[in-house]
Amino acid sequence: MTDVLKQQVTEGFTAHFGYSPSGVWSAPGRVNLIGEHTDYNEGFVFPFAINRRTFAAVALRTDAVVRVASSFAQSVVELPLDQIRRDAVTGWSAYPLGVAWAMQQLGGATGTGFDCYIESDVPVGAGLSSSAAIECAVAVALNDLWEANLDRRTLARVGQLAENEIVGAPTGIMDQSASLLGELDHGVFLDCRDLSAQVIDLGFAREGLELLIIDTKVEHRHADGGYASRRAACELGAATMGVGSLRDLTVADLPRAKELLDELTYRRVRHVVTENDRVVETVRVLREQGPTAIGKLLYASHESMRDDFEISVDELDTAVETALQHGAIGARMTGGGFGGAAIALTPVAKISEVTLAVLAEFEALGYAKPDIFVVSAAPGAHAE
């Protein structure tokens, strides 16, 4: 697949712009194993880069114009570098253009325009960060072509800044970090306070496990209100508790939080505080006992998101419960919530049983047909 996309992206570039690109760069989508809505609270996350990638064929121009095109949209979008603003861009082009803008803010730009063509096999709207994959592919390309020498943490901030300021989604730093720091068969244990990261051997294949993605096809968008309102509740909770971020609270603070906070804000805070614990615990258990022992933590995370953070939907709950009933050792919704995908850590021998059971249950309940597939941990963004 990789070779096909790499060839297609080069051909697409040439067909749209009439000359050959100077190179191809790629970046993966990500799945979050555990640690949801903790990133913007300076907490812990444990995602991994997946074997679905976005490819960007890029060449510098001699003027200051940017042109972007892709296999998933008809037209070429063209804009001078210095005119990239939130209200000047729409749709998917906000991601590559936003990165060009953000690189200028974080000191990586030369003012030279570029042409960029994009191809991707990261499913869109599934909670697998198709947007971060575009951002990171373009970021590593521009970092090379502009000779910006920004390190990977700064490139992650470039992607986040593009998303926050140009796309208009108030998301955290997890997705871009996973896409940039991922390694084959490893998860990225990231402390979102200082962006220090450790790559941790997942050992799924060794233990006969695979990670199943159940894309519910319920569309989610982080530029919509649900994500922002959760973030606002976390900020209110931290301010009321007198801390800079929820990272500064532990479960020992929860009784006091219960007294000080309104009931809803308390539950939002409880999710984040307990989720941070679950991430640290997952990494510990994975190291000491291997992946077959992390199932309970994955499900506890799901319950917390369903009941305290209230970001699950019926389709995600059904996917999780059905997968567990049919042999998955752990399952949870993943990503920002309100739709997208669930993950199910499943013994290889149970993959088809879980898949068929989820398909049947969705059909019986009249839900849209989910997309179900396996992902593995892949390398992060790089030049091809």
For 240: left if phi > 0, alpha if psi spans -120 to 50, otherwise beta; the answer is alpha
Q: How many residues bind ligand GLA (CB under 6 A)?
A: 12
Residue 28 makes contact with ligand GLA by CB under 6 A: no
Residue 172 makes contact with ligand GLA by CB under 6 A: yes
Decide whether 305 or 372 has the Cβ nearer to ligand GLA. Answer: 305
- Residues 32-51 touching ligand GLA, rule: CB under 6 A, are 32, 36-37, 39-40
CA separation for the pair 45, 188 (Å, rounded): 8
Nearest to 111 by CA among 145, 136, 151: 145
Provide, rounded to whole angstroms, the least separation between the CB of residue 179 and ligand GLA: 11
CA separation for the pair 89, 226 (Å, rounded): 23
User: 140 with 155: CB under 8 angstroms?
Assistant: yes
Interacting span for ligand GLA (CB under 6 A) from 18-26, 64-72, 143-151, 169-177: 169-177
Decide whether 108 or 335 has the Cβ nearer to ligand GLA. Answer: 335
Provide, rounded to whole angstroms, the least separation between the CB of residue 288 and ligand GLA: 25
SS3 sequence, the chain? Answer: CHHHHHHHHHHHHHHHHCCCCCEEEEEEEEEEEECCCCHHHCCEEEEEEEEEEEEEEEEECCCCEEEEEECCCCCCEEEEHHHCCHHHCCHHHHHHHHHHHHHHHCCCCCCCCEEEEEEECCCCCCCCCHHHHHHHHHHHHHHHHCCCCCCHHHHHHHHHHHHHHHHCCCCCCHHHHHHHHCECCEEEEEECCCCEEEEEECCCCCCCEEEEEEECCCCCCCCCHHHHHHHHHHHHHHHHHCCCCHHHCCHHHHHHHHHHCCHHHHHHHHHHHHHHHHHHHHHHHHHHHCHHHCHHHHHHHHHHHHHHHCCCCHHHHHHHHHHHHCCCCEEEECCCCCCCEEEEEEEHHHHHHHHHHHHHHHHHCCCCCCEEEEECECCCCEEC
Residue 171 makes contact with ligand GLA by CB under 6 A: yes
- Residues 330-369 touching ligand GLA, rule: CB under 6 A, are 335-336
Place of tokens 């291997």: 290
Interacting span for ligand GLA (CB under 6 A) from 31-39, 70-78, 259-267, 292-300: 31-39
Identified binder of ligand GLA from the candidate list 42, 175, 308, 361, rule CB under 6 A: 175
Provide, rounded to whole angstroms, the least separation between the CB of residue 175 and ligand GLA: 5
Identified binder of ligand GLA from the candidate list 49, 122, 136, 174, rule CB under 6 A: 174
Binding mask 50-79 for ligand GLA (x = CB under 6 A): ------------------------------
Decide whether 118 or 167 has the Cβ nearer to ligand GLA. Answer: 167
User: Annotated catalytic residue: which of 39, 115, 175, 215?
Assistant: 175
Provide, rounded to whole angstroms, the least separation between the CB of residue 332 and ligand GLA: 11
Active site annotation includes 175: yes
Nearest to 57 by CA among 383, 367, 334, 351: 383
- Residues 212-241 touching ligand GLA, rule: CB under 6 A, are 222
Interacting span for ligand GLA (CB under 6 A) from 21-29, 103-111, 171-179, 376-384: 171-179
Interacting span for ligand GLA (CB under 6 A) from 86-94, 98-106, 170-178, 374-382: 170-178
Provide, rounded to whole angstroms, the least separation between the CB of residue 244 and ligand GLA: 18
Interacting span for ligand GLA (CB under 6 A) from 10-18, 145-153, 166-174, 183-191: 166-174
Decide whether 26 or 32 has the Cβ nearer to ligand GLA. Answer: 32
Binding mask 310-329 for ligand GLA (x = CB under 6 A): --------------------
| Interface residues toward ligand GLA, by CB under 6 A | 32, 36-37, 39-40, 171-172, 174-175, 222, 335-336
Catalytic residue numbers read 175
